[in-house]
Structure 1
Amino acid sequence: MSGTNVWTRSRDRMRRFPELFAQCAAEAAAYGKCVSSTTTAGRQELRKDMCVKEFEALKTCFISAAKKGVK
């Protein structure tokens, strides 16, 4: 197995990330707002599943965008 092929595929996926992520701006903003609001007002700890609904929406959007492909 050639290491260059693994790195080439990884680099290709990482190059697409900003374009895919941009397609999910609304979901990313909602998730960020949830995380931000749960770590303000003296609570500096983000616990598991506090923003699960927003995270799942972002994940679903990102997977959908990746499946469509970006040209």
Structure 2
Amino acid sequence: GQQLGVMSPKDAMKLAREAEVDLVKIAPSAKPPVCKLVDYGKYKYELVRKEKEAKKKQRTIEVKEVRLSPN
């Protein structure tokens, strides 16, 4: 959870290897790119779970049909 600051990719990979976790790019388009040291399986699971939660909370638009006919 703590920020380790700006470092070279080589140093970041070394930290990940020492902690036995993966180095995951969170914001690759940022300058410099933002990465996290996380277990990739757990990270992927959390992303899928958050997407499901968002989908569940999203309201679906229901179209109601009304038919009018002359008597």
TM-score (normalizing by structure 1): 0.30
Which structure: greater helix fraction?
A: 1
Which structure: greater strand fraction?
A: 2
- Structure ID, larger Rg: 2
TM-score (normalizing by structure 2): 0.30
Taking CA–CA contacts closer than 8 Å with sequence separation of 6 or more, which of the two structures ends up with the larger relative contact order?
1
